[in-house]
Amino acid sequence: MKLVLIGPPGCGKGTQSGLLCKKFGLPHISSGNILRAEVQAGTPFGKKIKKYMDRGEIGPQELITKAVLEHIDKNCPSGFVLDGFPRTLYQAETLHGTHNIVAAIYLNVAEKEILKRITGRRTCSKCGRVFHLDYSPPKKNGICDSCEGELVQRDDDTAETVKNRVQIYKKETMPVLDFYRTLGVLKEINANVAPDVIFQEILNIV
């Protein structure tokens, strides 16, 4: 099964990918996580992309596309859930050249909800589990329920950067919706509701 989850920042791509991968034993390929790991490791590639990520921009997309496709080929050529990729037409077309996507699930969320979700997100620095200060708070303030790691805010989760990320999403990623619509694999879901309701909708599709 080769699935793509697509939508604006904070629509729940990471949350729903995690649920899907747990249910079906599929690898979760998050381009954002791949790129953040490069930045954290201080690799030459990570140093090159950091400034773009901090501003919520796409950056050198040929290099990024190559890195994500290599990751797929190495780890999970026969099945995956893609989160955050493709986010440009170039990436969608390149992916389409080698992988047949069975469904591109579009998590459509209202713009006013995006800011709340992004600025309230906290991520465990140790295991990567994602929380939300209001919607899914940890039991102990600032501490991960799973591993007791410290909860941190992503560098790009500021109100100012979110506005830029939404603009870039509209310009660069919305055309990808049309790409998958034309292929007949786009499935739109109302993502303004609770995660378990969204997940049920996704299960009905896949």
The alpha carbons of the chain give a radius of gyration, in whole angstroms, of 16
Query: Which positions from 137 through 176 interact with ligand AP5, judged by CB under 6 A?
Result: 156, 165
Is position 36 annotated as part of the catalytic site?
no
Contact track, ligand AP5, 105-144, x by CB under 6 A:
------------xx-xx--------x-x--xx--------
For residue 182 the two structure tokens come to: 């034309």
8, 13, 14, 125, 130 from 146: Cα distances, Å:
27, 21, 17, 12, 10
**Cis ω on the peptide bond leading into residue 86 (within 30° of 0)?**
yes
Phi, psi of 121, deg, nearest 5: -75, 140
Is position 181 annotated as part of the catalytic site?
no
Q: Determine, following the binding rule CB under 6 A, whether residue 61 of this chain makes contact with ligand AP5.
A: yes
Catalytic residue, chosen from 129, 154, 163, 181, is 154
Is position 122 annotated as part of the catalytic site?
no
Residues 102 and 166: their CA atoms lie apart, in Å, by: 26
- Active-site residue set: 13, 87, 121, 154, 165
Q: Which residues contribute to the site for ligand AP5 (CB under 6 A)?
A: 9-15, 31-32, 35, 52-53, 56-59, 61, 64, 84-85, 87, 91, 117-118, 120-121, 130, 132, 135-136, 156, 165, 194-195, 198
